Structure 1
Amino acid sequence: METIGNLIQNQTKVLPVSNQLSSANRANHKQWSREQADMYWRNQLVVSMKSVSPAFTVDDSNRQLLKALYQWIWGMPGMLDLDKGLLLHGPIGVGKSTLLKGLQNYAAKIARYCIGGADAGLTFQFTSAAEIALLFAEKGIVGLNQYTDRSCMHNLAIDEVGREPMDAKHFGTGINAIQTVLQLRYEQRYCFYTHMTTNLDPDKEFSQRYGDYIADRVKEMFNVIKIEGESRR
């Protein structure tokens, strides 16, 4: 998989020119320094989080994580494995979904500003585990193809894993939809990112719900990140 850093070799010098600038000012617009660009994009990560939750604030509970996410999405060596997706777990209300949705907005903003709106494998779709289970119930295994078939697969974030029904049924045929999706996406883990949020403890509860096979492969697919702190709701 290619990170944004791989795809945009000069990413630290790329900055959007505001549409509010006059033509003359645009013509005179100069590239920012590496430090200015870095500061701009770090700030935009926070802006993207606020676009999801206006009350979002940077504090001691998330400052290091935001730094790690910034390094990860730009392909910089840091605390996270660049070849793995993100699994955010922790109690209800600590901001797991906000972080992942904010990161989705941030990736889309980078793609829009740096490569003219082309996706180039940088962005990801966002859905919930319950929606995936419902899709199977409505359409059967064909309904899951968009998440599991390599020909139409894409980077994917699955929200609230563990809150979906365990046995989704389509005309009497039941499967554990998330278990199936994760198993098939595991085979394509070097081509497509998978991200998740969950209230479950991956070390203790995944095997009970999704089986030992999935529990064993979680650390191969994901940077497992525990989100702590007080409820932000």
Structure 2
Amino acid sequence: MEKRKDLYTREAILIKSDLVEALQNDANEIVAIEKGKNRQRHLLLPFSYSDFKNLLIKFGTACLYKRCQNKNFVIDENNEPVIKQLFYYVTHNPTFSGELSKGILLQGKYGCGKTILLETYSMLHNHVVKKFFLNHSLLLFIKSVELQEQIRKQSVKYFVKRPMIIDEFGRESKTIQDYGNVIRPISELLSLRSDVGTLTHGTSNFTLNTLSSEEFYGRMIGDRLRMMFNFITLPGESRRN
């Protein structure tokens, strides 16, 4: 009986001579749909570079004042090359030095300005989305320690599909006790977000090699980090004074 079914299948395929072409067309259509979804993940900001810099200064200053730091956001020789790459990224410019389909992980020394730069970007992104009622998700800006605690209190599923910026990536405890069980909330979240392709950004004081070590997330998660992020280094010493 099974052999007869196989014969019927082969006969049906032979009769429909254009089957391969039809399947190829279907595959091309699926690829086009998925490409469209990937483009939709990014909010395209239609700014010139000078406008983008000025907006970062304004919103960055607002971020600093929210922290009770009475000073202006400054663009200088240390952060401007990174800001230019961020501009290429948010305007979908092929000049961007990485892959536009990935998120951005800013690396650098303590206090060099990684957090304020991406927090400023998230504020600008969210303000544009809300002001113009755009069909884009808001960016959740959250420290890794707080994120881990939220996962423990709620569930990892609440954070799998939401676009986010994870600040101080790698600073959290890698394992925690939950009702007697040892769990790895951030590792599990990264794995799930990688599987579904959720856009993730972050900041970290650690290199990819360090994050991929057994003392941190291990080689398996490290390999996923390579797939998820463009690793960009922000040079310079601490701006905290």
Q: Where on the TM-score scale, by shorter chain, does this alignment land: which range?
A: 0.7 to 0.9
Aligned to 2:146: 131
Percent identity of equivalent pairs? 27
Which of 113, 118, 122 is equivalent to 1:104? Answer: 122
Runs of 4+ in 1 over 6 A off after TM superposition: none
Matches within 5 A, 1:169-208: 169-189=177-197, 192-208=198-214
Q: Residues of 2 paired with 1:112 and 1:214: CA distance?
A: 34
Q: How many residues align?
A: 193
Q: Residues of 2 paired with 1:89 and 1:39: CA distance?
A: 25
CA distance 1:60–1:38, shift in 2 (3 Å): closer
Gaps of 5+ in 2: 1-37, 65-70
Aligned to 2:60: 49
Matched letter for residue 101 of structure 1:
E
Matched letter for residue 96 of structure 1:
K
Contact 1:167 1:175 in 2 (8 A): yes
Matches within 5 A, 1:74-93: 74-78=91-95, 79-93=97-111
Contact 2:57 2:72 in 1 (8 A): no
Matched letter for residue 232 of structure 1:
R
Q: Residues of 1 paired with 2:184 and 2:159: CA distance?
A: 14
Aligned to 1:163: 171
Q: Residues of 2 paired with 1:85 and 1:205: CA distance?
A: 16
Q: Which has the larger radius of gyration?
A: 2
Aligned to 2:220: 213
Contact 2:60 2:72 in 1 (8 A): no
Q: Residues of 1 paired with 2:182 and 2:150: CA distance?
A: 13
Q: What is the Cα-based RMSD across aligned positions, in Å?
A: 2.0
Q: CA deviation at 1:166?
A: 1.7
Aligned to 1:144: 156
Aligned to 2:236: 229
Contact 1:45 1:70 in 2 (8 A): no
Contact 1:4 1:75 in 2 (8 A): no
**Alignment deviations for residues 150-180 of structure 1 (CA, whole Å, 9 cap, x no partner):** xxx2211111122212212221122111111
- Are 1:118 and 2:134 matched, yes or no? yes
Aligned to 1:27: none
Secondary structure in 1 matching 2:201: strand
Q: CA deviation at 1:4?
A: 2.7
Q: CA deviation at 1:45?
A: 2.4
Aligned to 1:4: 43
CA distance 1:94–1:83, shift in 2 (3 Å): same
User: What TM-score results when the alignment is normalised by the length of structure 2?
Assistant: 0.73
CA distance 1:135–1:110, shift in 2 (3 Å): closer
Q: Residues of 2 paired with 1:44 and 1:136: CA distance?
A: 33
CA distance 1:136–1:110, shift in 2 (3 Å): closer
Q: CA deviation at 1:119?
A: 4.4
Higher mean C-alpha displacement, 63-72 vs 166-175: 166-175
Matches within 5 A, 1:8-47: 11-12=46-47, 39-47=50-58
Aligned to 2:76: 59
Larger helix fraction of residues: 2
Secondary structure in 1 matching 2:73: coil
